[in-house]
């Protein structure tokens, strides 16, 4: 029983990471109606950046965020301007291909620079843990979870308490209407993308601390993230967070109760179930294009 | 109108030229192994024709309906594995006999496609892409974890035709791929000219409007999906037989899935010849690049760069862009009188 | 004989009641107008009848057969066509191809057989000629002017020979000359046996064209009769002027 409890707790902790990464992804979809298939690669990129900083400057991974988050934000804005904004027609379809291409490019460059060997983000306190309910929780997981909560909290605050956040939400709800009330939707799109990529950097740190990774890890990551936002409902942040928790807790419990091999499978089982029962996801809206 | 006869003759000549070109390409394709028998060339030919088939098959769903599937590698791998398992369980001897059983792999793939399609098509275009990716990874997972069935990470062996020594080995596979590619093209072409095909294109343009004029969108989409998947599955089967040993990560390789999409895009989505041109241009380049830079992962940057350039500069693909240019050349070269009169006609037509 | 019978139809979106126990009938062979102030639920009724949204309550009967809850494609196959407020055609298909998309019978033979194809193309060209737009048969839908699109949309909807056609603001955004042409075409099609139900704001258009008029207000039908009766109905004036 403690095993299940431990798995549940672990699920919540890792769910936080995925919630953070998934929020960035669903935010990007909500504002620009594009599916950033390269989000996993950006997370891995963030992880590698922190890794490089650690390797050369012995910088603590959490500390490196001070550098990587702004850097990735800038990268996100640039990517949006150069590769996404020029897409005028067939946006949804083309953006999938563009972002996939970017993911491949990132994977290629990372593979060239860092080789395909698996690496991990290290911290000097990484083995420290504390005991609760008869099992141990490593502090790094808790730090990671707190980080994710903080950033998610900041994200929600920004979205619901600032005027820029209002502009983002307006664009998400109705792009044309937002334009009509004076929102610079192009700027909002670029900045939203930057924010999404910055959250990927944060996610990358926590992901890199808790998992061994290599440039090819983005495939597994993106398939999970995509499944999460489909479950949560494309464009819904609330949905992304809740879906991430559901998915990760289910996965960890399955790992303990059935087998690690089938734990991965849980994601897809839940996805298929959702698609059959409620294709728009938990908080999504059934879309009829125009009536 | 003085210009019309010239235009008509040009149109007739163009059609004749197209027909002639087609015949020439066909003959070249048939005799290729005879005029260039070295294994390097025939090897490249096998993969090139394979991608001609894959891109054309993918186009039937992605190009015509606009529902982009990034998970077609699922059907490719499934076709390969089911074919391998079929051959092994029936103890089929290597040689020419296995080729006869390729349609069976196609049938099995059809069953899978109906299942996946029924679930995946409950969503609209954006989510559909994601779901296809998810299903591909699911199948890859199954391939890795159903060890007793598929051999898991250790792989699955297929019958190996020893007596097809050295230089000859590639040839039967080349013709098998050629048959499948031609099949894909014929099916794609006939769909394009049928009411079913028009329905698919209508779905791509405006799905709700298509519904409003009676197009049974669910069944049309599912049909296109299954046809596309079956062709890909059969090509996967021949591929499996060709490489004689299957590993999950190479049979269900997302890069294969993305390559066929890129080729269809490069050539022109929704056209019949587009995927062919895309494959003919891209596959040899891809193989060359993988050969040179495969180890260092830089060939991924190549994919990435080509992809981005194509999408940003030639978003409609080669064939439609060229067709546009030709159309404009034909109109422009018809002479000033016609153009002036032509514009008066255009004004009259625009009066409502 | 009522071709279309709507009884106590209701639909709410969140807190907003769009259609509130609406009842109306469309007699066969008529041109019926559906009018009402903005927000009275007219387009929602259209969407409910043609299967784009499912009703919360009430019944819709076409030729005495219940069609509530059916999908738009089945409803078209049964014989109800519709046009949209902003004319919708397929931009990447030519005008002729637009005409060939509509499907009345989705049998395997019907879709694959080349035999009926030529016949269909002839009918399409006739229909285009009837709408006076045959010269744009080879032009892509996206390249047509708005007026041409409106005509094309109606022509295409008529291809499968629907008995009832719902027109959503056929007079919207068109110049007076084209307006008269559209009205004439509708009259002619009606003479040939098609029943029409149209939503319109252009009162002159409605009064000249319609045999019957139904007035919606806040999701309910508050008046019906011939154009003159409706025009003089105090409840209708109230609804429009808003007391």
* Cβ atoms < 10 Å from Cβ of B56: 35
Whole-angstrom distance, CA of residue C87 vs CA of residue C182: 13
Strands C57-62 and C31-35: unpaired
Q: Which long-range contacts (CB under 8 A, 24 or more apart) does C174-178 make?
A: C174/C146, C174/C147, C174/C150, C175/C147, C177/B352, C178/B352, C178/C147, C178/C150
Instruction: Between C173 and A68, name the one with better pLDDT.
Output: A68
CB B276 within 8 A of CB B322: no
Chain A nearest-CA distance from C211, in A, is 27
Mean pLDDT of B156-171: 82
* Confidence (pLDDT) at C106: 64
β pairing state of C164-168 and C80-82: parallel
Give A129: exposed, middle or buried? Use CB within 10 Å, 0-12, 13-18, 19+. middle
Would you call B298 an interface residue with chain A, using a CB distance cutoff of 8 Å?
Answer: yes
Separation between Cα atoms, residue B199 and residue B205, nearest integer Å = 10
| Rounded CA separation C198/C36 (Å) | 12
Nearest by CB: B202 against C101, C104, C151: C101
| Centroid of chain to Cα B253 | 16
Q: Tell me: pLDDT of B224 over 50.
A: yes
pLDDT of residue B3: 45
Q: Is the pLDDT of residue A291 over 50?
A: no
Whether A29 has its CB under 8 Å from any CB of chain B: the answer is: yes
Tell me which of A94, A100, A233, A273 to substitute to probe the interface with B (most B C-beta atoms closer than 10 Å). Answer: A100
Instruction: Specify whether the CB–CB gap between A68 and A61 falls below 8 A.
Output: no
Q: CB contact, 8 Å: A288 with chain B?
A: yes
- Give pTM, 2 decimals: 0.88
CB < 8 Å to A107, chain B:
297, 300
Distance from CA of A87 to the nearest CA of B (A): 7
Give the gap in angstroms from C-alpha B268 to the nearest C-alpha of chain C. Answer: 14
Q: What's the mean per-residue pLDDT of chain B?
A: 85
In this complex, the residue of A111, A219, A268 whose CB is nearest that of residue B254 is A219
Q: Choose the mutation target among B70, B124, B259 for the interface with A, i.e. most A CBs under 10 Å.
A: B124
Q: Which of A223, A262, A289 sits opposite B134 (nearest CB)?
A: A223
Cα–Cα distances in Å, from B1 out to B4, B326, C135, C203? 6, 21, 16, 46
pLDDT digits (tens, 9 = 90+) for B70-86: 999 999 999 999 999 99
Show residues of chain B in contact with C90, CB under 8 Å.
201-202, 205-206, 209-210
Helix, coil or strand: residue C29: coil
Chains in contact with B, counting 3 or more C-beta pairs less than 8 Å apart as contact: A, C
Query: Which is more confidently placed, C172 or B10?
Result: C172
Please indicate if any CB of chain B lies within 8 Å of the CB of C95.
no
Q: Which residue of C has its CA nearest to B207?
A: C90
**For residues C176 and A189, what is the distance between their CA atoms, to the nearest angstrom?**
42
CB C163 within 8 A of CB C3: yes
Confidence band of B344 (pLDDT split at 50, 70, 90): very low
Q: pLDDT confidence of B349, banded at 50, 70, 90?
A: very low
pLDDT tens across A70-83, in order? 999 999 999 999 99
Please report the DSSP string for B13-25 in residue order. Answer: HHHHHHHHHHHHH
How confident is the model over C67-80, as a mean pLDDT?
Answer: 92
Task: Kindly list the distances between the CA atom of residue A95 and the CA atoms of A28, A32, A163, A265, B194, in Å, as whole numbers in the listed order.
Answer: 11, 10, 28, 28, 30
pLDDT per residue as tens digits for the range C93-119:
999 999 999 988 766 665 666 556 778
DSSP letter for each residue of A106-175: HHHHHHHHH-S--B----TTTT-EEEETTEEEEHHHHHHHHHHHHHHHHHHHHHHHSHHHHHHHHHHH-H
Q: How high is the pLDDT of residue A78?
A: 94
Chain A residues lying within 8 Å of C43, measured CB to CB: 291
| Helix axes A185-210 and A2-32, enclosed angle (nearest 10) | 160
- At residue B339, does pLDDT exceed 50? no
Q: Are A69 and A198 in contact (CB under 8 A)?
A: yes
> Is the pLDDT score of B124 beyond 90?
no
pLDDT digits (tens, 9 = 90+) for B133-147: 889 988 988 888 888
Taken in order B159, B164, B167, B169, is the CA torsion positive or negative?
A: negative
C chain contacts of residue B217, beta-carbon cutoff 8 Å: 73
Q: Inspect the interface and report whether the beta carbons of C93 and B202 lie closer than 8 Å.
A: yes
> What is residue C5's three-state secondary structure?
strand
Q: Which of A285, A287, A288, A291 to mutate to test the interface with C (most CBs of C within 10 A)?
A: A291
Say whether pLDDT at B336 is over 50. Answer: no
For residues B319 and B340, the model is more confident at: B319
Tell me the pLDDT tens digit for each residue of C188-207: 999 999 999 999 888 889 98
Cβ–Cβ gap B195/C100 under 8 Å: yes
pLDDT tens-digit series, residues A151-189? 888 888 888 888 888 888 888 888 888 888 888 888 888
Query: CA of B252, closest CA in chain A: separation in Å?
Result: 12
Task: Pick the closest to residue A202 from A155, A256, A134, A262 (CA basis).
Answer: A155
**A291 CB within 8 Å of a chain C CB:** yes
The answer to whether B325 and A112 have CB atoms below 8 angstroms apart is no
Please list every residue in chain C whose beta carbon sits closer than 8 Å to the beta carbon of residue A288. Answer: 52-53
**Using one digit for the tens of pLDDT, what is the confidence trace for A107-157?**
999 998 998 889 888 877 777 777 777 777 777 788 888 888 888 888 888
List subunits contacting chain A, requiring 3 or more Cβ pairs under 8 Å: B, C
User: Is B125 in CB contact (< 8 Å) with chain A?
Assistant: yes
Contact C102 B195 (CB under 8 A): no
Mean pLDDT of C46-55: 91
CB A4 within 8 A of CB A257: yes
Record the tokens describing residue A127, joined without a space.
């083995």
**What does the pLDDT read at residue C219?**
85
> At C88, is the secondary structure helix, strand, or coil?
coil
Q: Taking CB atoms and an 8 Å cutoff, what residues of chain C touch B214?
A: 73, 76-77, 102-104, 106, 160
Contacts of C99 in chain B (CB under 8 A): none
The average pLDDT across B277-289 equals 87
Hey, is the C-beta of A12 within 8 angstroms of any chain B C-beta?
Answer: no
Residue of B111 and B323 predicted with greater confidence? B111
How much of chain A, in percent, has pLDDT values that exceed 90?
A: 26
Which long-range contacts does B320-326 make (Cβ < 8 Å, 24+ apart)? B320/B268, B320/B271, B320/B274, B321/B268, B326/B14
CA distances from A142 to A10, A145, A152, A193, B238 (A): 10, 5, 15, 28, 51
Q: In this predicted structure, what is the pLDDT of residue B230?
A: 97
Q: How many CB atoms lie within 10 A of CB C115?
A: 10
What percent of chain B has pLDDT above 70? 90
pLDDT (tens digit per residue) in C180-189: 999 999 999 9
A38-42, B125-129, C58-62, C120-124: segment of lowest average pLDDT? B125-129
- Asked if C155 and C131 count as a contact pair (C-beta separation under 8 A), the reply is yes
Interface mutation vs chain A, best among B62, B133, B260, B263, most A CBs within 10 Å? B133
The confidence score (pLDDT) of residue B55 equals 96
Q: What is the pLDDT confidence band of residue B33, given thresholds at 50, 70 and 90?
A: confident
| pLDDT band, very low/low/confident/very high, at C26 (cuts 50, 70, 90) | very high
Give the Cβ contact number of residue A260 at 10 Å.
11
B212 touches chain C (CB under 8 A): yes
What are φ and ψ of residue A65, in 5° steps?
-60, -30
Residue A188: Cβ within 10 Å count? 22
Helix (H, G, I), strand (E, B) or coil at C33: strand
Residue C133 clears pLDDT 60, i.e. is over it: yes
- Chain A residues in contact with C47 by the CB 8 A cut-off are 291
Which residues on A lie below 8 Å from B262 (Cβ)? 97
pLDDT score recorded for residue A149: 86
Which whole number is the average pLDDT over C40-44? 87
Q: What's residue B296's pLDDT?
A: 62
Quote the CA–CA distance of A76 and A196 in Å, as a whole number.
8
């Amino acid at each position: 029983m403690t095993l299940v409890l431990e798995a549940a707790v672990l699920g919540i902790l890792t769910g936080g990471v995925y919630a953070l990464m998934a929020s960035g992804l669903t935010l990007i979809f909500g504002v620009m109606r594009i599916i950033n298939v390269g989000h996993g690669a950006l997370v891995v990129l963030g992880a590698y950046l922190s890794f490089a900083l650690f390797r050369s400057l012995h910088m603590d991974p959490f500390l490196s965020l001070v550098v990587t988050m702004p850097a990735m934000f800038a990268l996100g804005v640039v990517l949006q301007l150069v590769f996404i904004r020029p897409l005028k027609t067939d946006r949804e379809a083309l953006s999938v291909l563009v972002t996939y291409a970017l993911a491949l490019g990132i994977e290629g460059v990372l593979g060239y620079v860092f080789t395909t060997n698996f690496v991990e983000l290290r911290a000097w306190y990484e083995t420290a843990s504390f005991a609760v309910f008869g099992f141990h929780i490593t502090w790094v997981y808790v730090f990671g979870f707190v980080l994710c909560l903080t950033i998610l909290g900041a994200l929600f605050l920004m979205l619901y308490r600032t005027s820029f956040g209002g502009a983002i939400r307006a664009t998400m709800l109705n792009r044309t209407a937002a334009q009509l009330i004076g929102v610079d939707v192009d700027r909002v799109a670029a900045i939203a993308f930057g924010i999404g990529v910055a959250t990927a950097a944060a996610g990358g740190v926590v992901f890199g601390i808790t998992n061994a990774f290599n440039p090819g890890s983005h495939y597994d990551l993106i398939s999970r993230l995509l499944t999460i936002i489909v479950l949560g409902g494309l464009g819904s942040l609330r949905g992304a967070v809740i879906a991430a928790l559901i998915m990760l807790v289910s996965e960890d419990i399955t790992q303990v109760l059935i087998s690690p091999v089938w734990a991965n499978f849980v994601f897809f089982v839940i996805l298929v179930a959702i698609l059959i029962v409620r294709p728009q996801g938990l908080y999504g809206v059934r879309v009829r294009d125009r009536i | 109108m003085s210009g019309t006869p010239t235009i008509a003759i040009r149109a007739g000549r163009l059609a004749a030229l197209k027909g002639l070109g087609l015949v020439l390409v066909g003959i070249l394709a048939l005799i290729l192994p005879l005029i260039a028998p070295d294994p390097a060339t025939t090897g490249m030919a096998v993969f090139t024709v394979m991608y001609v088939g894959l891109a054309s098959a993918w186009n039937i769903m992605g190009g015509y309906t606009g529902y982009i599937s990034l998970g077609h590698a699922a059907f490719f791998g499934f076709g390969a594995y089911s074919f391998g398992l079929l051959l092994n369980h029936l103890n089929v001897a290597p040689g020419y006999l296995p080729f006869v059983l390729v349609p069976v792999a196609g049938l099995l793939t059809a069953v899978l496609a109906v299942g996946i399609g029924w679930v995946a098509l409950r969503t609209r275009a954006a989510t559909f892409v994601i779901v296809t990716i998810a299903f591909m990874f699911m199948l890859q997972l199954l391939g890795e974890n159903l060890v007793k069935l598929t051999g898991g990470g250790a792989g699955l062996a297929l019958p190996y035709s020893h007596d097809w020594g050295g230089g000859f080995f590639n040839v039967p596979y080349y013709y098998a791929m050629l048959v499948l590619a031609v099949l894909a093209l014929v099916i794609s072409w006939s769909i394009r000219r049928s009411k079913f095909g028009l329905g698919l294109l209508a779905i791509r343009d405006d799905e709700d409007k298509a519904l409003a004029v009676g197009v049974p969108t669910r069944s049309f989409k599912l049909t296109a999906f299954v046809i596309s998947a079956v062709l890909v599955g059969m090509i996967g089967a021949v591929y499996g037989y060709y490489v004689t040993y299957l590993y999950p990560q190479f049979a269900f390789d997302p890069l294969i899935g993305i390559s066929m999409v890129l080729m269809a895009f490069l050539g022109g989505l929704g056209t019949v010849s587009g995927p062919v041109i895309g494959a003919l241009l891209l596959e040899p380049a891809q193989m060359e690049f993988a050969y040179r830079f495969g180890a260092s992962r830089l060939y991924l940057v190549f994919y990435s760069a080509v992809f981005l350039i194509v999408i940003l500069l030639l978003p409609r693909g080669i064939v439609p862009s060229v067709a546009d240019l030709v159309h404009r050349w034909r109109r422009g070269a018809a002479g000033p009188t016609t153009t002036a009169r032509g514009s008066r006609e255009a004004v009259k037509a625009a009066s409502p | 004989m009522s071709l279309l019978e709507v009884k106590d139809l209701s639909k709410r979106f969140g807190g907003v009641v769009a259609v509130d126990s609406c009842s109306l009938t469309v007699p066969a062979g008529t041109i019926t107008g559906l009018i009402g102030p903005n927000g009275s639920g007219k387009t929602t009724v259209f969407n409910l009848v043609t299967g784009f949204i499912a009703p919360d309550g009430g019944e819709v009967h076409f030729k005495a057969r219940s069609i509530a809850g059916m999908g738009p494609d089945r409803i078209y196959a049964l014989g109800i066509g519709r046009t949209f407020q902003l004319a919708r055609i397929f931009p990447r298909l030519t005008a002729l191809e637009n005409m060939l998309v509509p499907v009345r019978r989705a049998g395997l033979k019907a879709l694959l057989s080349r035999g009926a194809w030529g016949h269909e193309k002839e009918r399409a060209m006739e229909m285009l000629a009837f709408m006076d737009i045959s010269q744009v048969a080879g032009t892509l839908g996206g390249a047509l002017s708005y007026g041409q699109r409106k005509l094309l949309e109606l022509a295409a909807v008529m291809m499968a020979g629907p008995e009832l056609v719902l027109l959503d603001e056929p007079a919207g955004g068109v110049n007076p000359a084209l307006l008269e042409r559209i009205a004439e075409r509708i009259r002619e099609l009606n003479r040939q046996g098609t029943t029409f139900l149209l939503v319109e704001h252009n009162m002159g258009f409605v009064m000249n064209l319609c045999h019957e008029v139904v007035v919606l207000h806040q999701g309910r039908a508050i008046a019906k009769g011939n154009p003159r009766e409706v025009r003089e109905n105090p409840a209708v004036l109230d609804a429009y002027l808003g007391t």
